[in-house]
Chain A
Amino acid sequence: MATTTSLKRPSEFISTLPGDDVRHIMWRFADRMDLQMVLQSARAVARGAVARLVANGGRNTHDWTAQKNELLAEFDASGITSLFMTPEQGGYIEGPKNLALALVAYELAWVDAGAATGSLAGFLALGPIHERGTDEQRSYYMSRCIPAQPGEDRVTWRGAFCLTEPIPYVGVETGLLNGKVRVAEWEDGKEPIIEVDKRGRFITNMGFANFVTAAVDSGDPRIKGSCMVILEETDPGIYDRGTPTRKLVHQLSSTCDPIFKLQVPASRIIGGYTVKDGVIIPTYSHGEIIEAVFRRTRVTVGIMTSAKLLSAIEPLIRYQRDRFRGSGAVQPGSPRYELGLQQKQDAIHRLVGVWATGEASASLGFTAARMFDDLDPLEKEKDRVLAARGVGGGTAAFKALRKVQKDAVEYLKLSRERESRRDAARLAALEADPLVKFSLLDALANVFCPACKLWNTGHGANTMREAVSLMGGYGITEDCPGFLGHKWMDAQLEATYEGPEAVQRRQLSVTMVNEVFLAQYRIWISELRDIAARKPGTGACALATAMQMWLWTAEHLQVSKDADGDVLYHSNRQGVTFPLADALCWLLAARSFILDVLELEAKGPENPVVAEGLPGTMQFFTDLCHVQTARAAGEVGRICAELVFGYNRHPAWDDPDYKGCYRTDELISLESLIPGLASVAVDVVDADGSHPTKAGPCAGAAGLDQFTKLRTKLDSCMTGSALAKERAAEAVTKIMIPAALDYPA
């Protein structure tokens, strides 16, 4: 029976660009009308006010102009500003908001990521208060940040998050702070007044923020450790917004280098404090707060770059098709007129590469966003359970959860065993344990968040360059439809802010070898084989092999040493850990994409809008999966091979006794025992010491047989992937696109 892998040409092609109904299913919010409305609302702002501002040159100044400021009112009116809040606080969506925020970021970044950043920066400012603030702090600031309702006479407060400091302080190392907090006054029986002294750098929303959540370290023995403090513009002292940052990108967000020297009551310490032996002890260090905040907000940043890539598809197709139209020499109806540059294989193959990357990164990002929606209630439950057991925060909680990890791994093992063999009671007990549930999901979230931020933005920026190049010279002009040049530049900032690539790689180097993550990862390999059996055209089999190779490499590196006997997998050996982290991201993105496409296959028939063109859509997406999987497998193979072999010393001709070589006289005698040996022996040293002209005897693979077999297998697993690319490319020449872009450009 023919399968998609053996088809030269599919019988059906994707008809139109994937619409909202397709995305609702793939990104799993088909049953969430609230989110669908939020998406439409953000889209109207993005393709309306934001697009007009960009088209009119609004990005051509560093200053926060009146025109840029009008966007805030647009965000307020459309519900974007109040999205972060609970209904009790004046919001309108119940429950966790990670997916909702991701969708808003996606829609805004479809047009301009600076606008997306501006809208999200307010949430970032509120994040510390939301995650770790006291009830009073939450109630006070959230209610002031809700846009004024009709009849209300008040200013809507805007916030800024102030962590980064001028060089050489906070940058990659967020654990170090130069901003200080000291006790200014402390009268007996009264609340202490603290003085915050902080300089910020690259602080978003600072041009108009009414309050700031600032990270500071203690500069006073009467305050312990670090904390975050809320500063208001009317506090006594200096609240200097600073000069606008001369950034080249994200010009629709306000960024400044502020200076603060303010006296505030100690009740502004986020999460509150206790006093012990005359020392103020903040409930949370700044590190504990930013960890809770960033692990969520970084996902939305990753999704911004995904949006850019997918937004590039329509303008690119239109540019390619229209390339020769309008010339008297090219007649309507001719292939050159109708297809333009799409007659050329390179143009459409590269476009397929951009599209596949965009899909995979969006799938990875939305998977991560949903993961945090699931994690939020589990995290609260975990805190409740630990508190009930008398386990405090910080190290005590960490130790308690370490023990739970063993239970989580046991649960995974039991769940995979045959029903007749396993201990059903133990399985049920583990399944019902909220700490086990938390541990399982937390292990994934700790990998998916940095992976999404790292791969979507880093590889996304590289791929945006490819997209720009496909537009020719037009791509790097302000006139480029879809603002692709801007988007390329902006992507570089997304790879940098909220933790640059090195930070994400460092986090991954710890979390990706967590036993609970790896236990789940092993299960995925087996699941992908099952998927491959059902849907061979997705490349799931190649992905499973690539995942096996990554796992083998990770395990090997953790127990192996280099040629000098030094440990390979070590936190300081970033030449080992960082590339391995990069490789994992490719795998996670490709897997997420495959799972989303399978979801579309399963749920698509239920929606008449999707069902009509589903065979063509499925064929195209399946082929895109295969393209992306092959690319991921190639990257993983390369990286793993470099790591596995790269730290061994290459044999040299001057090694003692010419280890690994035949001597000529030895070979002659062996030839009589093994006829033909001389013809295959490569590394032969003559009696006078002369040898073949090359670096040294060929390196062996002692102890690495399994790896070399996997490598060979992985290469052959890519069979058919280029055919998939050709099918996808042909589909790109046939797909119907709108007559014009739906936003000014």
Chain B
Amino acid sequence: MANSYQVVVCGGIVPDPLQTLEPVAGPAGPALKNEMMLPAVLDPWAGHALYEAAALARKFPGSKVYLVSLAPKAKLQQVMMTIAQRVPLELVALDGPGGGFTDSAETAAALAGAIQGIAGLDRSKLLLFGGWESASRGAGSTMQMVAERLGIVDQFQGVDELQIGEDGSLRILERVEGGQHQVSVCDAPPALLGWATGNLGEPANNAQVGMQNMRTIMPSLQKAKPTQLKSGIAFASVALPKLQRETRIVKDASVDEIAKEIADWAAAE
């Protein structure tokens, strides 16, 4: 069994999902109205990855969790006030644009560069974690490109579970069609795991953990590398997903009838 892991979690930040999100045209392309001023949270998909990473690190003493994040430094600091209390981590901060209107290839290049810069990184212990998509735009392509740039070829997406075998192998459950999971076994790190929801709840805030983390997080934020992304992507139009609520109260409908109605509605859409 491997003694310890170096788990690098890539995670961006997004506006708090309860906020009113209104796309507007900014000088550098599309943006969200007042985005800088809206409270932000760690991207929920990345959050699942981070909490799984922390759980893994707890199980294997000597393991370490890195959070690599590209976001406006001031917003990232705000988010860290909460995240830093939940899991022991070391932050690698990149001060640059976050949100849903960046090119995932550019983002991946910046993240991969930052990961390569982590001192003492051991590929034989490296597990690259991230969300298999994101709550900002959900292109679902960033993590693959980060892994490719790092030369990690064992890649798994839509991961819900990771178990470490006695021999140190990774047994991974990936989501596939029909609510099923595909089981894969990977001999050893390095590997990319793009997490779906995983199985863990959000850890409670722990002020002691937070105070410990802050000793490294604040210096990391202070020396966050300014990162400009090339605007190599153009958006023809930007719109929020259409919200629709048509509530009917129907009693005694069977499961089949409900399923059929949903299927008919989806087909019509």
Contact = CB atoms under 8 A, between A and B. Distances in A.
B78 A20 contact: yes
Given A37-B81, A41-B207, A44-B205, A736 B16 contact: no
Contacts of B204: 44, 74, 77-78
Interface string B3-34: 00000000000001011101000000000011
Interface string B188-217: 000000000000000011111011001000
A346 interface: no
B38 A79 contact: no
B39 interface: yes
B37 A612 contact: yes
A77 B86 CA distance: 11
Nearest to A606: B74
A740 interface: yes
A66 interface: no
Nearest to A21: B78
B207 A37 contact: yes
A736 B20 contact: yes
A33 B205 contact: no
Contacts of B48: none
A21 B37 CA distance: 9
A156 interface: no
A742 to B, nearest CB: 5
Given A44-B82, A609-B78, A79 B208 contact: yes
A174 interface: no
A205 interface: no
Interface in A608-636: 608-610, 612-613
B64 interface: no
Contacts of B37: 15-16, 19, 609-610, 612-613
Nearest to A743: B18
A737 B204 CA distance: 27
Contacts of B20: 736-739
A738 B205 contact: no
A596 B97 CA distance: 31
A83 B207 CA distance: 9
Contacts of B39: 19-20
Contacts of B82: 37, 40, 44
Contact of B205 (A41, A92, A607): A41
A67 to B, nearest CB: 17
Interface string B83-96: 01100000000000
Contacts of B85: 37, 40-41, 79
Interface string B238-254: 00000000000000000
A37 B210 contact: yes
Given A609-B78, A612-B36, A37 B211 contact: yes
B214 A78 contact: no
A591 B207 CA distance: 34
B36 A609 contact: yes
Nearest to A79: B207
B207 A38 contact: yes
B127 to A, nearest CB: 25
Contacts of A79: 85, 205-208, 210
Contact of A16 (B18, B34, B208, B210): B34
A34 B74 contact: no
Interface string A681-710: 000000000000000000000000000000
B16 A742 contact: yes
A609 B205 contact: no
B218 interface: yes
Contacts of A736: 20, 22, 33-34
Q: Which of A20, A93, A608 is packed against the most chain B CB atoms within 10 Å?
A: A608
A496 interface: no
B72 interface: yes
Contacts of B84: 37
B194 to A, nearest CB: 27
Interface string A75-91: 00111001100000000
A33 B34 contact: no
Nearest to B75: A609
Contacts of A210: none
Contacts of A741: 18
Given A34-B214, A36-B81, A37-B214, A78 B205 contact: yes
9 contacts: A15-B34, A37-B82, A37-B207, A40-B81, A41-B205, A44-B205, A74-B204, A79-B210, A739-B20
Lowest 6 A-B CB distances belong to which pairs? A79-B207, A41-B205, A37-B210, A612-B36, A40-B82, A608-B74
Given A77-B205, A78-B207, 5 more contacts: A36-B81, A37-B81, A609-B37, A613-B36, A740-B18
